[in-house]
Amino acid sequence: MKHSIKVGFSFGITSGIITTLGLMVGLNSGTHSKLAVIGGILTISIADAFSDALGIHISEESENKHTTKEIWQSTIATLVSKFIFAISFIIPVLLLPLFSAIIVAMVGGLSVLGIFSFYIAHKQGKKPWKAVLEHLVIAVIVITLTHYVGNWTSTVFG
């Protein structure tokens, strides 16, 4: 896989999982509304995918060492992977009761993140379990914080 595509895909999958899980958990904790969670997933799948793609685009440009083609490959890989991974979380929400959907999304998302982290670390000759643990701990921190922010928001503004 080309470096530019790997950069975009790696960023997109990681951001797609962590951002969407955080959003889902926070919205669920604050509203307990399936409609709010679905709306949040749809919104983040579009707005954040484009935002992250532009962020990668500008970041790659600022390094001043990539061709225009490489920059656009990273941009498109980020956009597509972020959108696909973010929008995929809508499936359990559509098919299951909201609480169950959140659990399924967390287990699925954290599993994919763990497997991807293991794969990347292994390919780099690093200790895979250290990378997996590091990435999963960060994701769990985000999920935990957004849960409490959702609860707080519901208490203060609900």
The vertex-50 CA angle with 48 and 51, nearest 5°, equals 60
- Using CA atoms, how far apart are residues 144 and 22, in angstroms rounded to an integer? 8
Structure-block tokens of residue 86: 């973010």
**The pLDDT value given to residue 27:** 98
Sequence-distant (6+) residues with CB within 8 A of 155 are: none
Please give the chain's pLDDT, 158 residues, in tens.
Answer: 798 999 999 999 999 999 999 999 999 999 999 999 999 999 999 999 999 999 999 999 999 999 999 999 999 999 999 999 999 999 999 999 999 999 999 999 999 999 999 999 999 999 999 999 999 999 999 999 999 999 999 999 97
- Using CA atoms, how far apart are residues 93 and 37, in angstroms rounded to an integer? 8
**The pLDDT value given to residue 1:** 75
Total number of domains in the chain: 1
**The pLDDT value given to residue 37:** 98
The model's pTM is 0.94
Q: Tell me if 121 sits within 8 A of 132, measured CB to CB.
A: yes
**The pLDDT value given to residue 93:** 98
Range of the structural domain that residue 23 is part of: 3-157
**The pLDDT value given to residue 13:** 96
Q: Tell me if 77 sits within 8 A of 12, measured CB to CB.
A: yes
Q: Tell me if 44 sits within 8 A of 100, measured CB to CB.
A: no
